[in-house]
Each structure stands twice: as structure tokens, then as C-alpha cells.
Structure 1
Amino acid sequence: MDVPFISNWVLIRLSGFLAYFLFTFSISAGLLSRLAVFQKKRPLMNELHQTSGWAGVLTVIFHMILLWRDRFVTYTLGEIFIPFFSDHAPLASGIGTICFYLFLIVFVTSDFLMKRLGKNLWRKIHLLVIPAWIFMVLHGFLIGTDSNLPWAAFLYGGGVFLVVTIMSLRYLESYFNSLADKNDAKKTP
């Protein structure tokens, strides 16, 4: 699949970075929606979370199709869909495949099976998004041809910093809320 002014290789790299951006944005919006400061904007944050997540899944599918159709580094469908089966960078490719499956499980269960699974099981499955995102970072860093360039390191590092910071804020807010709840429980006879 070549576009006259953009090579397949450029589209593969672009779709990989776009998927990274979309999933990082999705996770960030999902985490922010749970913070007290965003409670009034929670519906908007949830919409951003879901929309960017599905856009990320579709971008990864586009990325996989481009890899399958590439003529320079050839991937068979088996190499794309079976983890660690690829002749080219089997570890990094396999991590990418697992990442795709984890994200797909999270989005399918969130949009189609959440009510059937129940809230507790759904939340546990939804947490798979964190290892999926970590695998995505590793996949891009290990196999990406731009990973050694400063701008790519900045993008990866910036995304990791953002997600870790928001997760830390969410943890701290939860921790201090639980302390406040314990203090309130002690005051009530």
C-alpha cells in the first residue's frame, strides 16, 4: 500500500507513533476522570477516554495491515497474529502482538460485555490496559527505527512521565481519601 508521496515505511512508523499517542491519551483521560478535580468534567473525560482508545485500536489494525503489505520487511499473517513467531525481531514483534490482544480484550469487554461481566470482574480486566500500554512502549522502543533519535526518546519519555504522574496523583488522592475516611469513622460513635 504505497501512497505516491508517502512510503509504506513512513506510514508504518507514523501509525505506530499515532497509536502510542492515542493510547497514552486514552489512559491519561481515563485516569484523570477519576480525580476529584475532574469530577464535573467526568462525562467529557470518559468520552475522550473511549474515543481515543478505539481510535488507537483501529490505528494498530492499520499498522498491522501496513506491516503485512510491506515489501521491505515482510510479515505473514501468522507472524503478525502469533506472538514471537516473526522472523524479524521476534521478541519486539511478539510484545507488540500481545499488546494488541490485551488492548483488544479491554475494549471489547468495556463496550460489549461490561454488563454481563459485572463491575468487579470488568474493572480487573480493564486494568490489563496498564501492561498493554507498557508492552506498547517496549515494542516501539525495541523495534522502532526512530527510537534512538532524540525526538522519539522525548515522545516515549514524555508519555511515560505523564502516565506515571497521573497514576501517582490518583494513588495519592485515593490514599488521602482513605485516611480521611478512617478518621471520620473514628469520630463517629
Structure 2
Amino acid sequence: MTSEALWALGRGTGITALGFLTVSLALGIATRSGRPLFVLPRFAVADVHRFAALAGTLLVMLHVGLLFFDPYAQLRIVDFVVPFIGAYRPLWQGLGTLAFDVLLVVIATSLLRQRIGLRIFRAVHWATYALWPIALGHALGNGTDTDRVWFLAFAGCCALIVAVVLVWRLRANYTEYADAQAGRS
């Protein structure tokens, strides 16, 4: 595979991962409300949230793997673990590394959810509120499409979706699922 193809696939998987992670974050917040989203029942929203998270995670893994083999990106194994030491745009690449590291911790706690308990799982899952803007910063700073209108529109839509769902989440009348259940008893 030529380096141009690796670069294009690496970029494409990164952009698509941002979209899936945006959907996952938004639906994760919606799932906690206990309310149906549009016409979907809560379990369907949770299923789509999990699917989007898994798809986004797989796309991030492809993104990292493809760029690792791309000679232009010049990634080393240490660049996947230690942020801000990369050869190409170290600050922006470091944000990607930081987002990747947080994603690995969230994945590990998701896989160990039954063993670590719901309280620890939820505490670590709150890290996704930091993961998403770090990943967006990585995309905007390290991406080679940041001068393209379509990419800026895509990133803007992702940011708008997250901003709207966060405003909804922070509203005083937002009801957590547990609170809604307790009120029904």
C-alpha cells in the first residue's frame, strides 16, 4: 500500500471516529436521563450508544495503526503512550496520544465493569467528557483537512451536537435515570 493511501485512510478513519465518538457521547448523556430519545426507548438509545462507542474505538485503532505504518507520519510505539514527544506537530499529536490513552482506560474499565463495580466504572466513564474535546483539539490541530470547508463544517456540527446535549444535561430540570425510577416507586 502506498503512503498516500495510508495517509488518506488514516485521516478518514480519524474523522469518522470523531463522528462516532460524538454520537456515543451525546447518546451516553441521553441514556442517563431515563427519557426516550425521539421515538427510541431507553434500551435502544443505550444499544446505539454502545455501538457508536465500539465503532469509534475500532476506527481510532485503525487510525493509529494506519498512521503507524505511514512513513510520513513518523510515529513510534512510544508516541502511542507518552504524549507530546512526537516528531510531527508534538502538541497536537500529543493531544491525540492523550485521548488515545484515556480511551484505553475507558475501554479497560468497560471490559472490567462487573469486577470493578458500577461506582468506579461511572467515575472513569466521566473521563469521556475530557476525551472528546481533547480528540477534537487533536483533529483541528493535527489534521491536514483543517483548511477545508467540509471538515470545518463537520467539526462544527460535532461541537454543536455536544454543546447542545451538554446544555440539556446541565439544565436544572434534567432528571437522571435513577431519580426518575425512584419517583415512580
Q: Same fold (TM over 0.5)?
A: yes
Which residue of structure 2 lines up, in the alignment, with residue 184 of structure 1?
Answer: none
Which residue of structure 2 lines up, in the alignment, with residue 187 of structure 1?
Answer: none
Structure 2 unaligned spans of 5+: 180-185
Deviation at 1:136, TM superposition (A): 0.3
> How does the TM-score come out when normalised to structure 2?
0.85
1-structure distance, mates of 2:76, 2:51: 30
1:39-81: CA deviation from partner (whole Å, max 9, x where unpaired): 7611111111111111111111111111111122322222233
Deviation at 1:85, TM superposition (A): 1.8
RMSD in angstroms over aligned alpha carbons? 2.1
Structure 1 unaligned spans of 5+: 182-189
1-structure distance, mates of 2:162, 2:52: 15
> How does the TM-score come out when normalised to structure 1?
0.84
Q: Which has the higher helix share?
A: 1
User: What pairs up with 1:8-27 in 2 under 5 angstroms?
Assistant: 8-27=6-25
1:125 equivalenced with 2:117 (yes/no): no
Task: Detail structure 1 runs of 4+ shifted over 3 Å in the superposition.
Answer: none
Deviation at 1:131, TM superposition (A): 0.5
Q: Percent identity of the aligned residues?
A: 27
Greater CA radius of gyration, 1 or 2? 1
1:69-123: CA deviation from partner (whole Å, max 9, x where unpaired): 112232222223321121111111111011011112112212x222322222221
Deviation at 1:177, TM superposition (A): 5.8
Question: Do the aligned partners of 2:24 and 2:52 also contact (CA within 8 Å) in 1?
Answer: yes
Number of aligned positions between the proteins: 174
Query: Which is bigger in relative contact order (C-alpha 8 A, separation at least 6)?
Result: 2
What amino acid does structure 2 have at the position aligned with 1:163? V
Which residue of structure 2 lines up, in the alignment, with residue 186 of structure 1?
Answer: none
What amino acid does structure 2 have at the position aligned with 1:45? V
